[in-house]
Structure 1
Amino acid sequence: MSASGKEAPGPEAIAHLDSEHFDEAVVKALGDEVLRGALRNATELFSSRRSAAVASLPDWEDLRERARAIKEETLANLDAFLEEFAANAEREGVQVHWARDAAEACEVVLAVARATGATTAVKSKSMTTEEIGLNDALERGGLLPVETDLGEWIIQLAGETPSHIIVPAIHKTKAQIAELFVEKLGIPPTDDVTELTLAARRVLRETFAQADLGISGVNFGIAETGSFLVLENEGNARMTTSLPRAHIAVMGIEKVIPLFEDLEVFLRLLPRSGTGQHLTSYQTIFTGPRREGREGPEELHLLIVDNGRSAMLRERVTRQSLACIRCGACLNACPVYQQIGGHAYGSVYPGPIGAVITPQLAGLDKAAKLPFASSLCGACRDVCPVKIDIPQLLLHLRARIVLGDGPPGGKSTREGRFLERLAFRAWAWAMAGPRRYRFTAWVTRIVQPVVVGDGRIGRLARRLVPPLGAWTAARELRAAAPRSFRAEWRRTKGKV
């Protein structure tokens, strides 16, 4: 099948999606001082590390431009590069599978598990498998999936979803993790990081030895050679992909790049942007299954997933969403994410990039609030290693929602559009000349005692024009001065 497949993703395009309750989740997150403290410490640490790592490369901006150009070329010709990638991978002995949506992708993995007789699967970190809800599907199919990335394993034990693209348990403190290990693993109470890590290692090492199937993600697929790259820091991905008899790697269609030499650009960008490292601890390139006398799986499967990505290719502005290399830098820089964390977004893709990817994969009607969860400060654009213009994407999605693609009764209602047009026409009229401006200011001073009180829009005005009341729900509105600056200047003869 080709990657141009499906018109729109199905209702389960993103597993555990709960973005419709964003407003309530924000209030809860803002009231959690422990969460906000953990977020503040982690995001500040990663941001400072990133700054130091970026400063070590004098050609950082050139690398960003090259990465953006590579991604633009790839996405503009994605069908050709995917066909080249799949053909070269199959030539090396990889069994390539294609999936149009999440349900089809999960069924492919289950079919591979059944064919290999697997009962236990070990998994390394993969946002795509989180997206499609693979763990739930495997459990329904009678297979036990075990996350082996420490952060992913922690949230699996806690029954939660990731709250960060790179650091899935960023929202948890050391004390909370210790309590979780005492409860789930039965270890003696301790807050010693080494003891906690050793306890996790003992459990996971035993799981590695018993697993029949290894499941991983893919950081980059290389069309030129049919190889794919997996990056990690803990060594768990290498064990996941080498110890079990069969290995299946799951990737979105956007992960392919044209040439092997292109990896040099992305390997200098991604670790610095994500964790502030010059290079991750492990880089594993897979080109076919185990060769004679070498380590690795006997069977190597590659699952290439669409799940709504093809629809994002149609417009140039939305196409850039697919350039994301999942570094998480935009989350660490975002003032909104820093305050509320990832779970408030109700998606496995949180933060600025999640606010643009989630509505496109799941549908604007299911995640209409997320594009508005931004101050449009541009910090995400400034730190993105592939120069995705996230504010532009947010505005594009907002416009689509307002013009009719959002949920019924939401921001796209006819009444809301009429009031917005009326307000902007009134503003344009008032700003069109000095006389109109002075007249508007004079009317404002006359009306404001009725409209404004104690720095807030009055009840009458809120009823007549609801957007005015909404504006002051979380902001103070300063009242206009009794006289204009010009009038005050004349009255005091310049002694203001």
Structure 2
Amino acid sequence: MTAKHAALAEKFIADEPRINWHDETLWFVREKRDKAAHGLPEWEQLREWGSQIKNHTLSNLSNYLKEFEEKAKANGIFVHWAQDGAEHNKIIHQIIQKHKIQKIVKSKSMLTEECHLNEYLQQHNIEVVDTDLGERIVQFRKEPPSHIVLPAIHLKKEDVSETFHQHLGTEKGNNDPQYLTEAARQHLRNKFVESDLAITGVNFAVAETGGFVVCTNEGNADMGAHTAAVHIACMGFEKIIPRAEHLGVFLRLLARSATGQPITTYSSHFQKPRQGQEIHIVIVDNGRSKQLGREDFRNSLKCIRCAACFNTCPVYRRSGGHSYHTAVAGPIGSILNPNLDMKANADLPFASTLCGSCSNVCPVKINIHEQLWKWRQVIIAEGYADASKKIAMTAMAFLFSKPKVYRLAGKMGRTIMQVFPFLTNNKWNVWYKQREMPEPPKESFRDWYLKNGKINKNE
């Protein structure tokens, strides 16, 4: 059984200097996003356009997917449909077998992480090399990515240096980022040249043209797709947009929200295969149609995978991506993953303060914090919450519905914290971990108001 978020987060927070660094680094990225957004007077208009385009697309999804398939086939692209991750993996395996492919490179694709493609291929003795630098680092370490844009953000340069020393033979203890990057570049260049197959993700698929766009900062998707004889692009069906002109909205939103850049370094358009090449696109459902049918949660399919919600979330920043035990972590993952497996991911919607910062920064206006709250209700109603949580929620419901009992409990709590602080300041109190308990007030706000409110009225 997979460990839950709280237990996995406890392992991450055991290294306090690392979590402080992780927290500060991600907040730095959030600040870059704010500066980039504030530099555009039309930023909120872009967000509104992006949201409305996605709303329209989701409401007419079957039409746009059919149009995309027709146009893509007319362009010479092979289109495949996969109901789930297992079918997605089998389709790719069949293409590999048909062409007797030996060398495979893959650029960053969260869908392939979701479908566990690497593990599937490894089980069939097929090696696949991740070419995104962060993805390659975690692949060496046999770890999943901890962030959908910054896969190795949980690691420091010293960790990368040691990993490269073990796998690439770099100088031990040399932590120079330029030296390490050059070592990775030299290592990966041969992989590109030798590859028979390139696998990429899809950021946007355009129904009007039958083409698709892949955004990277390293150019690794281009290097793979332009050297390999076969290119397979993997996409969830929500990546579809109606027209090419809509790219002008989403490309301006994506990079600013993700890393604070005006645009990604490479926004590569794939329209048709070059002479002698095959392009395949695998369109995957894997629970998305079920999510589309959930009125309270369909908006989550508007996500463009920028990770702005990760970078702003106080829980993610201090618990790390691996604590979410899923391919897509953070706030957006916490509303997507219960749809895939409610029992296994019942803990994730509770890994939030419901502060609303995720919704505030979302470039396509997904109401993430509201969906987290609604998922909690569904999970409780379906009986998937832990027994301790059920007991606590029942007790809180009773307490908050009985004003006299609430006031008595508050008075008792303040007294205990004042007279017997050791009863709350101990390792059994989960709120005390890594925190200082607040100094208890001498009186409740209600008592203060009853005294001072009357005085103010008389003035």
**TM-score w.r.t. length of structure 1:** 0.84
| Residue 478 (structure 1) aligns with | 440
Q: 2:336 & 2:452 partners in 1: Cα distance? A: 52
- Number of positions where the alignment pairs a residue of Structure 1 with one of Structure 2: 450
2:72 is equivalent to residue 89 of structure 1: yes
Q: 1:489 & 1:116 partners in 2: Cα distance? A: 81
Aligned in 2, Cα 1:57/1:449: closer, same or farther, shift over 3 Å? closer
Structure 1 residue matching 2:353: 3-state secondary structure = coil
Structure 2 residue matching 1:156: 3-state secondary structure = helix
| Residue 374 (structure 2) aligns with | 396
2:44 is equivalent to residue 68 of structure 1: no
Structure 1 residue matching 2:363: 3-state secondary structure = coil
Aligned in 2, Cα 1:301/1:421: closer, same or farther, shift over 3 Å? same
* Structure 2 letter corresponding to 1:454: F
Once the two structures are superposed, residues 387-443 of structure 1 have per-residue CA deviations (whole angstroms, 9 ceiling, x without a partner) of 1111110011000011125257464x5x6665454334324xx5xxxxxxxx97478
Q: 1:328 & 1:263 partners in 2: Cα distance? A: 19
* Structure 2 letter corresponding to 1:63: L
Aligned in 2, Cα 1:209/1:315: closer, same or farther, shift over 3 Å? same
Contact 2:203 2:213 in 1 (8 A): yes
Aligned in 2, Cα 1:336/1:212: closer, same or farther, shift over 3 Å? same
| Residue 42 (structure 1) aligns with | 25
Aligned in 2, Cα 1:488/1:27: closer, same or farther, shift over 3 Å? same
Structure 2 residue matching 1:270: 3-state secondary structure = helix
| Residue 214 (structure 1) aligns with | 198
Contact 1:455 1:476 in 2 (8 A): no
Q: 1:252 & 1:322 partners in 2: Cα distance? A: 10
Equivalent positions of 1:272-421 (< 5 A) are: 272-291=256-275, 298-361=277-340, 363-406=341-384, 409=387, 411=389, 418-421=394-397
Residue 281 (structure 1) shift: 1.0
Aligned in 2, Cα 1:254/1:201: closer, same or farther, shift over 3 Å? same
Once the two structures are superposed, residues 7-58 of structure 1 have per-residue CA deviations (whole angstroms, 9 ceiling, x without a partner) of xxxxxxxxxx94x421111111112134314413421331222122112211
Q: 1:396 & 1:181 partners in 2: Cα distance? A: 44
Contact 2:399 2:406 in 1 (8 A): no
Q: 2:145 & 2:168 partners in 1: Cα distance? A: 21
* Structure 2 letter corresponding to 1:240: G
Aligned in 2, Cα 1:119/1:451: closer, same or farther, shift over 3 Å? same
| Residue 187 (structure 2) aligns with | 203
* Structure 1 letter corresponding to 2:401: R
Structure 2 residue matching 1:317: 3-state secondary structure = coil
Q: 2:122 & 2:136 partners in 1: Cα distance? A: 16
Aligned in 2, Cα 1:212/1:445: closer, same or farther, shift over 3 Å? closer
Q: 2:59 & 2:422 partners in 1: Cα distance? A: 50
Q: CA RMSD in A?
A: 2.9
* Structure 2 letter corresponding to 1:49: K
| Residue 4 (structure 2) aligns with | 21
| Residue 134 (structure 1) aligns with | 117
Name stretches of at least 5 consecutive residues in structure 1 with no aligned partner. Answer: 1-16, 292-296, 431-438, 460-467
**TM-score w.r.t. length of structure 2:** 0.90
2:420 is equivalent to residue 454 of structure 1: yes
Contact 1:248 1:302 in 2 (8 A): yes
Runs of 4 or more off by more than 6 Å in structure 1?
456-459, 468-474, 486-490
Structure 2 residue matching 1:165: 3-state secondary structure = coil
Greater radius of gyration (CA): 1
* Structure 1 letter corresponding to 2:345: A
| Residue 422 (structure 1) aligns with | 398
Q: 1:347 & 1:90 partners in 2: Cα distance? A: 34
Q: 2:176 & 2:430 partners in 1: Cα distance? A: 48
| Residue 121 (structure 1) aligns with | 104
Q: 1:342 & 1:477 partners in 2: Cα distance? A: 33
| Residue 110 (structure 1) aligns with | 93
Aligned in 2, Cα 1:98/1:453: closer, same or farther, shift over 3 Å? farther
* Structure 2 letter corresponding to 1:163: S
2:176 is equivalent to residue 192 of structure 1: yes
Aligned in 2, Cα 1:398/1:181: closer, same or farther, shift over 3 Å? same
Q: 2:267 & 2:259 partners in 1: Cα distance? A: 15
Once the two structures are superposed, residues 241-267 of structure 1 have per-residue CA deviations (whole angstroms, 9 ceiling, x without a partner) of 111110100000100001111100001
| Residue 234 (structure 2) aligns with | 250
Q: 1:453 & 1:373 partners in 2: Cα distance? A: 32
Q: 1:224 & 1:396 partners in 2: Cα distance? A: 35
Residue 111 (structure 1) shift: 0.5
